[in-house]
Amino acid sequence: MSDEISNAEIARCHRAARAALLAERNAEGFWPGELSTSALSTATAVCALASVSKNSALIHNGLRYLAEHQNSDGGWGDTPKSRSNISTTMLTRAAFHIAGAADEYRRCLDRANDHVQRAGGIAAVRARYGKDKTFAVPILMTCALAGLADWSEVDALPFELACVPTRFFAALRLPVVSYALPALIAIGQARFAKRPPRNLLARAMRSASVEKSLRVLEAIQPSSGGFLEATPLTSFVTMALAACGRAEHPVARKAVEFLMNSVRPDGSWPIDSNLSCWLTTLTVNALDGDLAATTPGSAGILPAERERAASDAADGRSGISCASLSHSAGRMPALPRTITRDWILSCQFREVHPYTNAAPGGWGWTHLPGSVPDADDTAGALLALSRLPLNDASRDAAQRGVRWLLDLQNSDGGWPTFCRGWTNLPFDRSGADLTAHVIRALAAWRRPVAAVSDRRSSAGQDPAVRDRRYSEAVDHAIAAGFGYLAREQRADGSWLPLWFGNEHVAGDENPVYGTARVLLAYEALGLNDDAAARRGRAWLLAAQNDNDGWGGAKGAPSSVEETALAVSALCGCSDGKTAVRRGLHWLAAQLEAGALGEPSPIGFYFAKLWYFEKLYPLIFTAEAFRLAAAGEATNKTDARKPMTG
């Protein structure tokens, strides 16, 4: 494929991608996005509703969706684009049994049984998750409820530990990750009810903890009823309570209400309600705060897209294409950037979080009540605020956010997702992509946060001393973060992310995503010539596919998301110019073909559940073409960017 792409084409693609992305903003100034439907979520929701005998229509529609989306090998994947996996297949198979529809769907189940047998059944589930019981135990509990496994296969969970003050959780080294406390309580109690321990002392201790741990469960349930806004976790809690004879418990009733409110028209459920905060901050950062709505002319729309939009309109279709979304953007009301800024500010947590006991100051992935503050979303929010008009509220919010991140840093120098010190299980450990994101956020807010503290200094406190100490703390945290990144770099020069993967790469890894995101941190601090950065770029350049795009690694199918991420990471480096233009040429061809509407399942949700998000291709592509069109190949940084009000 030719690597020639003109500056005019780059500018045109930038306008088209930007207009398409702006068209997705709602009237409240944020981007709700749309997560993929999920066979796994649908199966767990069906199981939960059937366990409490609620709404046969939703159960029927869910089963129909599952039957219609069975893969040719007899199994199910997490999304309609995903390969079959043992976890989703076993849960889906259980749904037909728990709903009493095994005979009606016998042919479907026969194929599923064959797939489970070939995949290794219960042993394969245990092998997939290793010592992490966060998801293995709920799967096996569901199979036990369906009569497809014995309760002896379900590991006991120490639900009594939920009664211990949360400040001691990290030291307890629980067998589930920090966000799975509801599962620990509810499933632990279900296992206890179905198979109590023989040890009389253990039995008495757990019996005495039942009511108290249930009160903890009730206290941490969000007002929406959905734990983490996640269908699977909420469903597991519901069916576990039903198994204990507590189908009418207030937690179960609220959980069922959440499930009934979150079903989609086709009878399916998504993996989570939405990623509104994450998507909004990603978008603001991708567009560098340029959120002004424009009415695009024909110069901003690719020819094939214009023709496709006209054809779709004639046929009554409304698929995602640059032309159709560009025209939609032209019809959107003009929204000042301050609306988006104020919405982001409204998402910051101002009180101690009841779920993780996190201090005030962080952001979560959604504005909905089931969200939990985390490092990645807090970093994204801080970067977005630095690119939007500043006022006292945003400066104060940034000060709280920076302090929150400084307090979250692990002793290894990296940043975890939710809680400091939870290093026992994979999704609680420090992550390279999280750490790189936090480094960029801290660098962006060094001076503005210090300026706020000038006006709010305590009587008798020397502002210069205080500001110096603050700067030293930030610099120390950044240096420790880079130390962590240097140690985490693999021998081949790449880094792995925590919350993203690729089914076409060994071990479901996605070193292209991880390396691209880490390289941005080195660039933000002017460290492109650092030895680790040079090795990372060399690996990323070598990972480019022969068709000029990138996948999760060399040889994996190229995707819009991964190609755009790689291009963005290489734009600021002189040694990547040729690869960047080749990648832009590939992206332009995807724009021409309407591929912005074909997201790839590269997202890892909790417990390695795959998802794709409609806006990821738009966001990452808009960022890549913005960087190229703006000519920021040599001067783009987060740390030295002027701050304007």
Do 554 and 545 contact (CB within 8 A), yes or no? Answer: yes
| Residue 125 tokens, joined | 């589930």
**pLDDT value for 166:** 60
Q: Which of 580, 573, 545 is nearest to 559 (CA)?
A: 545
Name residue 11's amino acid.
Answer: A
Angle, CA of 203, 138 and 421, to the nearest 5°:
80
Q: Residues 99-124: what's their mean pLDDT?
A: 96
Question: Rounded to whole angstroms, how far apart are CA atoms 445 and 395?
Answer: 9
- Greatest extent of the chain over all pairs of C-alpha atoms, in Å: 79
**pLDDT value for 574:** 85
Give yes or no for residue 326 having a pLDDT over 50.
Answer: no
**pLDDT value for 419:** 83
Q: Residues 585-598: what's their mean pLDDT?
A: 92
The verdict on pTM exceeding 0.95 is no
Q: Residues 445-466: what's their mean pLDDT?
A: 62
| The total number of residues written for the chain in this structure | 645
Mean pLDDT of the chain: 87
Compare 573 and 636 and report the one with higher pLDDT. Answer: 573
Please compute, for residue 405, the number of CA atoms within 13 A of its CA located in the half-sphere on the CB side: 37
Q: Which of 120, 154, 150 is nearest to 137 (CA)?
A: 154
Question: Rounded to whole angstroms, how far apart are CA atoms 182 and 137?
Answer: 13
Q: 358-381, pLDDT tens digit by residue?
A: 889 999 999 999 999 999 999 999
Q: 297-321, pLDDT tens digit by residue?
A: 333 444 444 444 444 444 333 344 4
**pLDDT value for 335:** 81
SS3 for 301? coil
**pLDDT value for 471:** 81
| Residue 639 tokens, joined | 């740390």
Q: Which of 589, 574, 584 is nearest to 625 (CA)?
A: 584
Transcribe 485-500 into DSSP letters.
HHHHS-TTS----SSB
Buried b (16+ CB within 10 A) or exposed e, 302-327: beebbebbeebeeeeeeebbbbbbbb
Could you say which DSSP state residue 230 is in?
B
Helix (H) or strand (E) holding 465: helix 463-488
Quickly state the pLDDT bin for 112 (edges 50, 70, 90): very high
Cβ atoms within 10 Å, residue 57? 10
SS3 for 605? strand
Question: Rounded to whole angstroms, how far apart are CA atoms 379 and 274?
Answer: 19
**pLDDT value for 328:** 46
Fold entry, domain 37-270: Glycosyltransferase (1.50.10)
Q: 597-645, pLDDT tens digit by residue?
A: 899 999 988 667 899 999 999 999 999 999 998 864 334 444 434 333 2
Compare 472 and 534 and report the one with higher pLDDT. Answer: 534
Q: Who contacts 177 (Cβ-Cβ below 8 Å, separation ≥6)? A: 132, 134, 422, 425, 426, 427, 428, 606, 607
Q: CA distances (Å), 510 to each of 500, 516, 543, in order?
A: 6, 10, 11
Highest mean pLDDT among 19-23, 275-279, 467-471: 275-279
- Of 159-173, 223-237, 351-365, 568-582, minimum mean pLDDT range: 159-173
SS3 for 141? helix
Compare 353 and 439 and report the one with higher pLDDT. Answer: 439
Question: Rounded to whole angstroms, how far apart are CA atoms 632 and 637?
Answer: 9
Name residue 570's amino acid.
Answer: L
The residues that bridge with 489 in the sheet, in sequence order, are none
**pLDDT value for 424:** 60
Q: Residues 62-88: what's their mean pLDDT?
A: 97
Q: Count H helices, E strands: the chain?
A: 26, 4
Do 239 and 211 contact (CB within 8 A), yes or no? Answer: no
Q: Residues 438-448: what's their mean pLDDT?
A: 90
- Of 300-309, 484-493, 509-518, 570-579, minimum mean pLDDT range: 300-309
Q: Who contacts 22 (Cβ-Cβ below 8 Å, separation ≥6)? A: 287, 291, 293, 294, 329, 332
Indicate the domain borders of the chain: 37-270
Name residue 386's amino acid.
Answer: S
Q: Residues 56-75: what's their mean pLDDT?
A: 97
- Of 14-28, 61-75, 321-335, 431-445, minimum mean pLDDT range: 321-335
**pLDDT value for 200:** 84
Residue indicated by tokens 């007899």? 74
**pLDDT value for 467:** 74
Question: Rounded to whole angstroms, how far apart are CA atoms 627 and 286?
Answer: 9
Buried b (16+ CB within 10 A) or exposed e, 462-498: eeeeebeebeeebeebbebbbebbeebbbeebbbbbb
Name residue 239's amino acid.
Answer: M
**pLDDT value for 262:** 97
Quickly state the pLDDT bin for 327 (edges 50, 70, 90): very low
| Residue 396 tokens, joined | 């104060």
Give yes or no for residue 129 having a pLDDT over 70.
Answer: yes
Quickly state the pLDDT bin for 333 (edges 50, 70, 90): low
Quickly state the pLDDT bin for 89 (edges 50, 70, 90): very high
Q: CA distances (Å), 222 to each of 258, 263, 369, 490, in order?
A: 10, 18, 6, 40
Q: 169-191, pLDDT tens digit by residue?
A: 555 455 444 567 898 899 999 99
Quickly state the pLDDT bin for 552 (edges 50, 70, 90): very high
Give yes or no for residue 566 having a pLDDT over 60.
Answer: yes
Do 513 and 566 contact (CB within 8 A), yes or no? Answer: no
Residue 359 Ramachandran class (φ > 0 left, ψ -120 to 50 alpha, else beta): beta
| Residue 172 tokens, joined | 């307890």
Quickly state the pLDDT bin for 272 (edges 50, 70, 90): very high
Compare 440 and 470 and report the one with higher pLDDT. Answer: 440
Q: Who contacts 101 (Cβ-Cβ below 8 Å, separation ≥6)? A: 63
**pLDDT value for 415:** 96
Question: Rounded to whole angstroms, how far apart are CA atoms 25 and 362?
Answer: 23
Q: What percent of the chain has pLDDT over 70?
A: 85
What sign has the CA pseudo-torsion 28, 33, 34, 35? Answer: negative
